């Protein structure tokens, strides 16, 4: 019985929805002379599972990215939620602009004979910091 519960827990973790953000910092020496200066590239991803690609079963929780947290019966796999995760990373890095935003989504369902579908939404963006002009002393 213990082996069955371990196997079921492992399957649940493999199938659970997940919201993640990854940040790749751009070295300052590469962009030192540019204004505004690109600081980082961010990748936000959220995925969830749907019954017949319509009814949400579970998805990643965008309020707690990178925490293996999920929501049940709520469609959180949206561009707005991915943009919110990117904006939180920009705020953490003190960046004032988000540029070069790209979104892509794909669906898969053949592994369950098209009954349970998986949607993956990926968003990529560049975080930019504008250098403030230096005031001259009078």
> Residue 130: its pLDDT value, please?
82
The answer to whether position 47 is within a domain reads yes
The answer to whether position 107 is within a domain reads yes
The answer to whether position 5 is within a domain reads no
Domain count across the chain: 1
> Residue 113: its pLDDT value, please?
80
Token pair 């504008």 is at which residue? 130
The answer to whether position 70 is within a domain reads yes
Q: What is the pLDDT of residues 68-119, one digit of tens each?
A: 788 889 999 999 999 999 999 999 999 999 999 999 999 988 777 888 899 9
> Residue 14: its pLDDT value, please?
57
**φ and ψ of 5, to 5 deg:** -65, -35
The answer to whether position 51 is within a domain reads yes
DSSP track, 46-105: EEEEEETTTEEEEEE-TTSTTTT-EEES----SHHHHHHHHHHHHHHTT--EEEEEEEEE
> Residue 134: its pLDDT value, please?
54
Band (pLDDT 50/70/90 cuts) for residue 9 is low
The answer to whether position 136 is within a domain reads no
The answer to whether position 75 is within a domain reads yes
* Residue 44 belongs to domain spanning: 17-129
The answer to whether position 29 is within a domain reads yes
Q: What is the pLDDT of residues 27-81, one digit of tens each?
A: 877 766 777 888 999 999 999 999 988 999 989 999 888 887 888 899 999 999 9
């Amino acid at each position: 019985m213990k082996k069955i519960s371990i196997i079921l827990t492992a399957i649940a973790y493999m199938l659970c929805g997940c919201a993640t953000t990854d940040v790749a910092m751009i070295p300052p020496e590469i962009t030192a002379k540019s204004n505004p200066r690109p600081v980082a590239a961010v990748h936000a991803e959220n995925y969830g599972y749907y019954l017949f690609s319509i009814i949400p079963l579970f998805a990643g929780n965008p309020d707690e990215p990178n925490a293996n947290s999920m929501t049940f019966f709520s469609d959180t796999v949206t561009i707005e939620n991915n943009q919110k995760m990117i904006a939180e990373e920009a705020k953490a890095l003190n960046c004032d602009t988000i540029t070069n935003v790209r979104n892509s989504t794909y669906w898969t369902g053949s592994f369950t004979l098209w009954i349970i579908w998986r949607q993956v939404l990926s968003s990529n963006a560049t975080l930019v910091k504008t250098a403030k002009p230096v005031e001259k002393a009078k």
